[in-house]
Structure 1
Protein backbone atom coordinates (compact mmCIF):
# COMPACT_ATOMS: atom_id res chain seq x y z
CA UNK A 1 0.00 0.00 0.00
CA UNK A 2 2.86 2.37 0.80
CA UNK A 3 4.34 1.68 -2.64
CA UNK A 4 1.04 2.57 -4.31
CA UNK A 5 0.65 5.78 -2.33
CA UNK A 6 4.28 6.70 -3.04
CA UNK A 7 3.71 6.19 -6.78
CA UNK A 8 0.54 8.30 -6.85
CA UNK A 9 1.96 11.15 -4.77
CA UNK A 10 5.22 11.16 -6.71
CA UNK A 11 3.31 11.41 -10.00
CA UNK A 12 1.11 14.19 -8.59
CA UNK A 13 4.17 16.25 -7.65
CA UNK A 14 6.09 15.57 -10.86
CA UNK A 15 3.14 16.28 -13.16
CA UNK A 16 2.10 19.44 -11.34
CA UNK A 17 -1.15 18.19 -9.79
CA UNK A 18 0.40 19.29 -6.50
CA UNK A 19 2.01 22.71 -6.78
CA UNK A 20 5.54 23.51 -5.65
CA UNK A 21 5.38 24.81 -2.09
CA UNK A 22 1.84 23.49 -1.56
CA UNK A 23 1.01 22.18 1.90
CA UNK A 24 -0.27 18.61 1.99
CA UNK A 25 -2.24 16.94 4.75
CA UNK A 26 -1.83 13.30 5.71
CA UNK A 27 -5.50 13.08 6.65
CA UNK A 28 -6.73 14.66 3.43
CA UNK A 29 -4.45 12.56 1.25
CA UNK A 30 -5.50 9.40 3.08
CA UNK A 31 -9.18 10.24 2.62
CA UNK A 32 -8.73 11.06 -1.06
CA UNK A 33 -6.89 7.79 -1.72
CA UNK A 34 -9.12 5.67 0.49
CA UNK A 35 -6.30 4.44 2.72
CA UNK A 36 -5.22 4.90 6.32
CA UNK A 37 -2.77 7.61 7.31
CA UNK A 38 0.04 5.10 7.94
CA UNK A 39 0.96 4.38 4.27
CA UNK A 40 0.60 8.08 3.50
CA UNK A 41 3.00 8.97 6.31
CA UNK A 42 5.49 6.30 5.16
CA UNK A 43 5.26 7.46 1.54
CA UNK A 44 5.89 11.07 2.56
CA UNK A 45 9.04 9.99 4.38
CA UNK A 46 10.27 8.37 1.16
CA UNK A 47 9.43 11.48 -0.84
CA UNK A 48 11.31 13.60 1.68
CA UNK A 49 14.40 11.42 1.15
CA UNK A 50 14.11 12.10 -2.60
CA UNK A 51 13.77 15.85 -2.06
CA UNK A 52 10.15 16.07 -3.21
CA UNK A 53 8.60 17.13 0.09
CA UNK A 54 9.72 19.00 3.18
CA UNK A 55 8.45 17.91 6.58
CA UNK A 56 8.50 20.60 9.28
CA UNK A 57 7.48 19.64 12.82
CA UNK A 58 4.61 21.79 14.14
CA UNK A 59 4.17 23.37 10.67
CA UNK A 60 3.28 20.53 8.35
CA UNK A 61 4.39 18.89 5.13
CA UNK A 62 4.98 20.84 1.91
CA UNK A 63 5.87 20.01 -1.66
CA UNK A 64 9.44 21.20 -2.23
CA UNK A 65 10.19 24.61 -3.64
CA UNK A 66 13.67 26.05 -4.27
CA UNK A 67 14.67 29.69 -4.07
CA UNK A 68 16.92 31.30 -6.67
CA UNK A 69 20.13 30.52 -4.81
CA UNK A 70 19.15 26.87 -4.39
CA UNK A 71 18.33 26.53 -8.09
CA UNK A 72 21.77 27.91 -8.93
CA UNK A 73 23.43 25.51 -6.52
CA UNK A 74 21.48 22.57 -7.95
CA UNK A 75 22.43 23.46 -11.53
CA UNK A 76 26.12 23.87 -10.69
CA UNK A 77 26.14 20.58 -8.77
CA UNK A 78 24.42 18.85 -11.67
CA UNK A 79 26.93 20.29 -14.15
CA UNK A 80 29.82 19.02 -12.02
CA UNK A 81 28.63 15.43 -11.63
CA UNK A 82 27.35 15.11 -15.20
CA UNK A 83 30.68 16.37 -16.53
CA UNK A 84 32.53 13.86 -14.35
CA UNK A 85 30.26 11.08 -15.63
CA UNK A 86 30.76 12.22 -19.22
CA UNK A 87 34.55 12.13 -18.90
CA UNK A 88 34.48 8.60 -17.48
CA UNK A 89 31.98 7.44 -20.10
CA UNK A 90 34.09 8.79 -22.95
CA UNK A 91 37.10 6.92 -21.62
CA UNK A 92 35.19 3.69 -21.10
CA UNK A 93 32.62 3.43 -23.93
CA UNK A 94 32.45 6.54 -26.13
CA UNK A 95 30.75 4.95 -29.14
CA UNK A 96 28.20 3.08 -27.05
CA UNK A 97 27.41 6.32 -25.23
CA UNK A 98 27.09 8.28 -28.47
CA UNK A 99 24.76 5.63 -29.89
CA UNK A 100 22.50 5.63 -26.83
CA UNK A 101 22.35 9.42 -26.82
CA UNK A 102 21.64 9.57 -30.54
CA UNK A 103 18.66 7.24 -30.05
CA UNK A 104 17.20 9.69 -27.54
CA UNK A 105 17.74 12.62 -29.88
CA UNK A 106 15.83 10.83 -32.64
CA UNK A 107 12.98 10.19 -30.20
CA UNK A 108 13.09 13.87 -29.16
CA UNK A 109 12.72 14.89 -32.79
CA UNK A 110 9.51 12.84 -33.06
CA UNK A 111 8.21 14.27 -29.78
CA UNK A 112 8.95 17.82 -30.95
CA UNK A 113 7.00 17.24 -34.16
CA UNK A 114 4.10 15.89 -32.13
CA UNK A 115 4.44 18.76 -29.65
CA UNK A 116 4.48 16.18 -26.86
CA UNK A 117 6.02 18.14 -24.00
CA UNK A 118 5.61 15.31 -21.50
CA UNK A 119 7.54 12.92 -23.75
CA UNK A 120 10.24 15.56 -24.27
CA UNK A 121 10.68 15.96 -20.53
CA UNK A 122 11.04 12.19 -20.09
CA UNK A 123 13.47 11.88 -22.99
CA UNK A 124 15.54 14.77 -21.68
CA UNK A 125 15.88 12.91 -18.38
CA UNK A 126 16.74 9.65 -20.15
CA UNK A 127 19.37 11.39 -22.27
CA UNK A 128 21.29 12.72 -19.29
CA UNK A 129 20.87 9.50 -17.32
CA UNK A 130 22.84 7.69 -20.05
CA UNK A 131 25.97 9.51 -18.89
CA UNK A 132 25.74 7.63 -15.61
CA UNK A 133 24.66 4.36 -17.20
CA UNK A 134 27.84 4.29 -19.29
CA UNK A 135 30.41 5.54 -16.77
CA UNK A 136 30.15 2.49 -14.45
CA UNK A 137 30.75 4.67 -11.39
CA UNK A 138 28.05 3.98 -8.77
CA UNK A 139 29.17 6.93 -6.66
CA UNK A 140 28.41 9.39 -9.44
CA UNK A 141 25.02 7.79 -9.99
CA UNK A 142 24.27 8.01 -6.27
CA UNK A 143 25.23 11.69 -6.38
CA UNK A 144 22.90 12.25 -9.30
CA UNK A 145 20.01 10.52 -7.55
CA UNK A 146 20.18 13.15 -4.79
CA UNK A 147 18.70 15.70 -7.22
CA UNK A 148 17.03 13.41 -9.74
CA UNK A 149 13.41 13.79 -8.67
CA UNK A 150 13.58 17.54 -8.21
CA UNK A 151 14.93 17.75 -11.76
CA UNK A 152 12.11 15.56 -13.04
CA UNK A 153 9.52 17.81 -11.41
CA UNK A 154 11.04 20.99 -12.82
CA UNK A 155 11.54 19.48 -16.28
CA UNK A 156 7.83 18.73 -16.50
CA UNK A 157 6.97 22.27 -15.46
CA UNK A 158 9.55 23.93 -17.74
CA UNK A 159 10.27 21.63 -20.71
CA UNK A 160 13.22 22.56 -22.88
CA UNK A 161 12.26 24.38 -26.09
CA UNK A 162 15.30 23.46 -28.20
CA UNK A 163 15.70 19.83 -27.16
CA UNK A 164 16.95 18.40 -30.45
CA UNK A 165 19.46 21.10 -31.38
CA UNK A 166 20.92 21.51 -27.88
CA UNK A 167 21.45 17.77 -27.45
CA UNK A 168 22.55 17.01 -31.01
CA UNK A 169 25.68 19.14 -30.81
CA UNK A 170 26.69 17.29 -27.66
CA UNK A 171 26.21 13.91 -29.36
CA UNK A 172 28.37 15.05 -32.28
CA UNK A 173 31.23 16.13 -30.00
CA UNK A 174 31.06 12.82 -28.12
CA UNK A 175 30.98 10.80 -31.33
CA UNK A 176 34.07 12.65 -32.56
CA UNK A 177 35.92 11.99 -29.30
CA UNK A 178 36.19 15.68 -28.44
CA UNK A 179 36.18 15.37 -24.68
CA UNK A 180 36.85 18.98 -23.71
CA UNK A 181 34.39 20.39 -26.21
CA UNK A 182 31.74 17.92 -25.09
CA UNK A 183 32.29 18.90 -21.45
CA UNK A 184 32.04 22.60 -22.26
CA UNK A 185 28.84 22.05 -24.21
CA UNK A 186 27.38 19.99 -21.39
CA UNK A 187 28.14 22.62 -18.74
CA UNK A 188 26.60 25.36 -20.85
CA UNK A 189 23.56 23.23 -21.59
CA UNK A 190 22.95 22.43 -17.92
CA UNK A 191 23.45 26.00 -16.69
CA UNK A 192 21.05 27.30 -19.33
CA UNK A 193 18.27 25.68 -17.30
CA UNK A 194 18.77 27.93 -14.27
CA UNK A 195 16.52 30.75 -15.44
CA UNK A 196 13.66 28.41 -16.43
CA UNK A 197 13.83 26.45 -13.20
CA UNK A 198 13.96 29.60 -11.10
CA UNK A 199 10.83 30.84 -12.88
CA UNK A 200 8.81 27.71 -12.08
CA UNK A 201 9.93 27.83 -8.44
CA UNK A 202 8.89 31.48 -8.03
CA UNK A 203 5.51 31.87 -6.30
CA UNK A 204 2.87 33.43 -8.57
CA UNK A 205 2.06 37.10 -8.06
Structure 2
Protein backbone atom coordinates (compact mmCIF):
# COMPACT_ATOMS: atom_id res chain seq x y z
CA UNK A 1 0.00 0.00 0.00
CA UNK A 2 1.39 3.41 -0.96
CA UNK A 3 1.57 6.32 1.48
CA UNK A 4 -1.24 8.06 -0.39
CA UNK A 5 -3.43 4.96 -0.09
CA UNK A 6 -2.63 4.66 3.60
CA UNK A 7 -3.49 8.30 4.26
CA UNK A 8 -6.69 7.96 2.24
CA UNK A 9 -7.82 4.83 4.09
CA UNK A 10 -7.08 6.32 7.52
CA UNK A 11 -8.95 9.53 6.73
CA UNK A 12 -11.80 7.68 5.04
CA UNK A 13 -12.23 5.53 8.14
CA UNK A 14 -12.29 8.55 10.42
CA UNK A 15 -14.89 10.30 8.28
CA UNK A 16 -17.12 7.27 7.71
CA UNK A 17 -17.06 6.37 11.41
CA UNK A 18 -18.10 9.90 12.35
CA UNK A 19 -14.88 10.65 14.25
CA UNK A 20 -14.28 13.61 11.96
CA UNK A 21 -17.33 15.87 11.84
CA UNK A 22 -19.30 17.19 8.89
CA UNK A 23 -17.78 20.49 7.77
CA UNK A 24 -14.61 20.11 9.84
CA UNK A 25 -11.46 21.72 8.43
CA UNK A 26 -8.63 19.22 7.94
CA UNK A 27 -5.05 20.22 8.65
CA UNK A 28 -2.73 18.79 6.01
CA UNK A 29 0.33 19.49 8.15
CA UNK A 30 -1.03 17.96 11.36
CA UNK A 31 -2.39 14.90 9.57
CA UNK A 32 1.00 14.35 7.94
CA UNK A 33 2.67 14.49 11.35
CA UNK A 34 0.10 12.14 12.85
CA UNK A 35 0.70 9.61 10.07
CA UNK A 36 4.48 10.03 10.05
CA UNK A 37 4.72 11.08 6.42
CA UNK A 38 5.28 14.18 4.30
CA UNK A 39 2.43 16.45 3.22
CA UNK A 40 2.52 15.29 -0.42
CA UNK A 41 0.73 11.93 0.09
CA UNK A 42 -1.80 13.60 2.40
CA UNK A 43 -2.52 16.21 -0.28
CA UNK A 44 -2.98 13.43 -2.85
CA UNK A 45 -5.26 11.59 -0.43
CA UNK A 46 -7.43 14.70 -0.14
CA UNK A 47 -7.93 14.57 -3.92
CA UNK A 48 -8.98 10.91 -3.75
CA UNK A 49 -11.38 11.67 -0.88
CA UNK A 50 -12.85 14.55 -2.88
CA UNK A 51 -13.55 12.12 -5.73
CA UNK A 52 -15.39 9.88 -3.24
CA UNK A 53 -17.51 12.84 -2.17
CA UNK A 54 -16.07 12.87 1.35
CA UNK A 55 -14.22 16.20 1.36
CA UNK A 56 -14.43 19.59 -0.30
CA UNK A 57 -11.23 21.33 -1.39
CA UNK A 58 -11.64 25.10 -1.38
CA UNK A 59 -8.79 27.00 -3.10
CA UNK A 60 -6.98 29.38 -0.73
CA UNK A 61 -9.20 28.23 2.15
CA UNK A 62 -8.47 24.58 2.89
CA UNK A 63 -9.95 21.10 2.84
CA UNK A 64 -13.15 20.29 4.72
CA UNK A 65 -15.12 17.16 5.51
CA UNK A 66 -18.21 17.23 3.30
CA UNK A 67 -21.36 18.85 4.64
CA UNK A 68 -24.44 17.17 3.14
CA UNK A 69 -27.60 19.21 2.72
CA UNK A 70 -31.08 17.66 2.90
CA UNK A 71 -31.16 17.86 -0.91
CA UNK A 72 -27.83 16.00 -1.13
CA UNK A 73 -29.17 13.23 1.09
CA UNK A 74 -32.39 13.00 -0.91
CA UNK A 75 -30.61 12.79 -4.25
CA UNK A 76 -28.01 10.26 -3.07
CA UNK A 77 -30.56 8.00 -1.43
CA UNK A 78 -32.93 8.07 -4.42
CA UNK A 79 -30.00 7.35 -6.75
CA UNK A 80 -28.98 4.39 -4.61
CA UNK A 81 -32.57 3.12 -4.35
CA UNK A 82 -32.94 3.12 -8.15
CA UNK A 83 -29.65 1.27 -8.62
CA UNK A 84 -30.29 -1.36 -5.96
CA UNK A 85 -33.87 -2.00 -7.01
CA UNK A 86 -32.66 -2.63 -10.56
CA UNK A 87 -29.78 -4.78 -9.30
CA UNK A 88 -32.08 -6.83 -7.08
CA UNK A 89 -34.48 -7.47 -9.96
CA UNK A 90 -31.61 -8.79 -12.09
CA UNK A 91 -30.12 -10.84 -9.25
CA UNK A 92 -33.45 -12.52 -8.48
CA UNK A 93 -33.78 -13.58 -12.11
CA UNK A 94 -30.18 -14.81 -12.44
CA UNK A 95 -29.56 -16.69 -9.18
CA UNK A 96 -32.06 -16.26 -6.33
CA UNK A 97 -30.64 -19.15 -4.29
CA UNK A 98 -27.07 -17.88 -4.52
CA UNK A 99 -28.27 -14.41 -3.63
CA UNK A 100 -30.04 -15.64 -0.49
CA UNK A 101 -26.93 -17.57 0.55
CA UNK A 102 -24.74 -14.51 0.14
CA UNK A 103 -27.16 -12.31 2.10
CA UNK A 104 -27.33 -14.90 4.87
CA UNK A 105 -23.54 -14.84 5.23
CA UNK A 106 -23.62 -11.04 5.57
CA UNK A 107 -26.40 -11.30 8.18
CA UNK A 108 -24.21 -13.60 10.27
CA UNK A 109 -21.52 -10.89 10.22
CA UNK A 110 -24.08 -8.26 11.21
CA UNK A 111 -25.29 -10.36 14.13
CA UNK A 112 -21.71 -10.77 15.36
CA UNK A 113 -21.15 -7.00 15.18
CA UNK A 114 -24.28 -6.42 17.25
CA UNK A 115 -23.21 -9.04 19.79
CA UNK A 116 -19.86 -7.31 20.33
CA UNK A 117 -21.38 -3.80 20.02
CA UNK A 118 -18.94 -2.72 17.33
CA UNK A 119 -20.44 -0.25 14.86
CA UNK A 120 -17.48 -0.33 12.48
CA UNK A 121 -17.94 -4.06 11.99
CA UNK A 122 -21.68 -3.61 11.56
CA UNK A 123 -21.15 -0.94 8.91
CA UNK A 124 -18.83 -3.25 6.97
CA UNK A 125 -21.31 -6.12 7.16
CA UNK A 126 -24.14 -3.79 6.12
CA UNK A 127 -22.13 -2.70 3.08
CA UNK A 128 -21.25 -6.33 2.31
CA UNK A 129 -24.97 -7.21 2.30
CA UNK A 130 -25.76 -4.62 -0.36
CA UNK A 131 -22.65 -5.52 -2.36
CA UNK A 132 -23.98 -9.09 -2.57
CA UNK A 133 -27.05 -7.76 -4.38
CA UNK A 134 -24.92 -5.77 -6.82
CA UNK A 135 -22.54 -8.66 -7.53
CA UNK A 136 -25.36 -11.08 -8.25
CA UNK A 137 -26.92 -8.63 -10.70
CA UNK A 138 -24.09 -9.47 -13.10
CA UNK A 139 -23.57 -5.90 -14.32
CA UNK A 140 -20.25 -4.33 -13.35
CA UNK A 141 -21.46 -0.89 -14.41
CA UNK A 142 -24.11 -0.96 -11.68
CA UNK A 143 -21.33 -1.50 -9.14
CA UNK A 144 -19.29 1.38 -10.56
CA UNK A 145 -22.30 3.69 -10.44
CA UNK A 146 -23.02 2.59 -6.87
CA UNK A 147 -19.51 3.62 -5.83
CA UNK A 148 -20.32 7.26 -6.67
CA UNK A 149 -22.32 7.65 -3.45
CA UNK A 150 -21.56 4.51 -1.39
CA UNK A 151 -18.87 6.00 0.84
CA UNK A 152 -20.72 9.24 1.54
CA UNK A 153 -23.81 7.25 2.50
CA UNK A 154 -21.68 5.13 4.86
CA UNK A 155 -20.71 8.32 6.65
CA UNK A 156 -24.35 9.40 6.83
CA UNK A 157 -25.28 6.04 8.35
CA UNK A 158 -22.64 6.57 11.05
CA UNK A 159 -24.26 9.86 12.05
CA UNK A 160 -27.70 8.25 11.91
CA UNK A 161 -26.55 5.43 14.18
CA UNK A 162 -25.13 7.87 16.72
CA UNK A 163 -28.43 9.70 17.02
CA UNK A 164 -30.90 6.82 17.02
CA UNK A 165 -30.77 4.25 19.80
CA UNK A 166 -32.69 1.58 17.89
CA UNK A 167 -30.75 1.93 14.64
CA UNK A 168 -28.97 -1.43 14.83
CA UNK A 169 -32.07 -3.36 15.78
CA UNK A 170 -34.24 -1.77 13.07
CA UNK A 171 -31.55 -2.11 10.41
CA UNK A 172 -30.85 -5.75 11.28
CA UNK A 173 -34.55 -6.63 11.30
CA UNK A 174 -35.05 -5.10 7.85
CA UNK A 175 -32.04 -6.87 6.35
CA UNK A 176 -33.25 -10.18 7.75
CA UNK A 177 -36.81 -9.61 6.55
CA UNK A 178 -35.61 -8.78 3.03
CA UNK A 179 -33.59 -12.01 2.92
CA UNK A 180 -36.56 -14.02 4.17
CA UNK A 181 -38.90 -12.51 1.56
CA UNK A 182 -36.45 -13.47 -1.19
CA UNK A 183 -36.15 -17.00 0.20
CA UNK A 184 -39.97 -17.28 0.05
CA UNK A 185 -39.94 -15.94 -3.53
CA UNK A 186 -41.94 -12.88 -2.51
CA UNK A 187 -39.83 -10.76 -4.83
CA UNK A 188 -42.13 -7.74 -5.20
CA UNK A 189 -42.35 -7.35 -1.42
CA UNK A 190 -38.58 -7.72 -1.10
CA UNK A 191 -37.96 -4.97 -3.65
CA UNK A 192 -40.47 -2.65 -1.98
CA UNK A 193 -38.85 -3.20 1.42
CA UNK A 194 -35.37 -2.59 -0.02
CA UNK A 195 -36.48 0.77 -1.39
CA UNK A 196 -38.08 1.77 1.92
CA UNK A 197 -34.97 0.60 3.79
CA UNK A 198 -32.76 2.90 1.72
CA UNK A 199 -35.03 5.94 1.67
CA UNK A 200 -35.67 5.95 5.44
CA UNK A 201 -32.43 7.92 5.82
CA UNK A 202 -34.26 10.98 4.43
CA UNK A 203 -36.56 11.02 7.47
CA UNK A 204 -34.10 9.89 10.10
CA UNK A 205 -30.82 11.74 9.79
CA UNK A 206 -30.25 15.00 11.63
CA UNK A 207 -27.91 17.30 9.74
CA UNK A 208 -25.89 20.07 11.42
CA UNK A 209 -27.37 23.55 11.52
CA UNK A 210 -25.56 26.47 9.90
CA UNK A 211 -24.43 27.84 13.28
CA UNK A 212 -23.06 24.49 14.44
CA UNK A 213 -21.34 24.02 11.10
CA UNK A 214 -19.59 27.40 11.39
CA UNK A 215 -18.23 26.44 14.82
CA UNK A 216 -17.08 23.10 13.41
CA UNK A 217 -15.25 24.80 10.55
CA UNK A 218 -13.33 27.04 12.93
CA UNK A 219 -12.37 24.18 15.23
CA UNK A 220 -8.67 23.31 15.51
CA UNK A 221 -7.66 19.85 16.67
CA UNK A 222 -4.42 19.14 18.51
CA UNK A 223 -1.73 16.84 17.15
CA UNK A 224 -2.69 14.35 19.87
CA UNK A 225 -6.31 14.31 18.70
CA UNK A 226 -5.31 13.65 15.12
CA UNK A 227 -2.99 10.86 16.21
CA UNK A 228 -5.82 9.24 18.15
CA UNK A 229 -8.42 9.66 15.38
CA UNK A 230 -6.14 8.23 12.69
CA UNK A 231 -4.65 5.37 14.69
Normalised TM-score (structure 1): 0.91
Deviation at 1:154, TM superposition (A): 2.0
Structure 2 CA distance for aligned equivalents of residues 15 and 57 of structure 1: 27
Aligned to 1:179: 187
Aligned residues: 203
- Answer yes or no: is 1:89 the counterpart of 2:91: yes
Deviation string 1:105-152 (CA, Å, 9 cap, x unpaired) is 233233333333332222111111111111110111011000111122
Bigger relative contact order, structure 1 or 2 (CA pairs below 8 A, ≥6 apart): 2
In the alignment, structure 1 residue 122 sits paired with structure 2 residue 124: yes
1:12-91 aligned at under 5 Å gives the runs 12-91=14-93
Deviation string, structure 1 residues 62-101 (Cα, Å, up to 9, x no partner): 1111011111111111111010110110111111001111
RMSD: 1.8
Matches of 2:21 and 2:61 in 1, distance apart? 18
Identify the residue that residue 110 of structure 2 maps to in structure 1. 108
Query: Which residue pairs with 1:146 in the alignment?
Result: 148
1:16 is paired with a residue whose SS is: coil
**In 1, Cα distance between equivalents of 2:160 and 2:101:** 27
Structure 1 35/111 Cα, relative in aligned 2: closer, same or farther at 3 Å? closer
Structure 1 residue runs of 4 or more that deviate by more than 6 Å after TM superposition: none
- Counterpart Cα distance in 2 of 1:86 and 1:153: 23
Alpha-carbon distance between aligned partners in 2 of 1:31 and 1:136, rounded to the nearest angstrom = 43
**Unaligned ranges ≥5, structure 1:** none
Name structure 2 gaps, 5 residues minimum.
162-166, 214-231
**Structure-1 separation of matches of 2:128 and 2:154:** 10
Aligned to 2:203: 195
Tell me if structure 2 keeps the 8 A contact 1:108–1:163: no
Deviations 1:145-187 (A, max 9, x none): 0011112222233233313211121112211222222111111
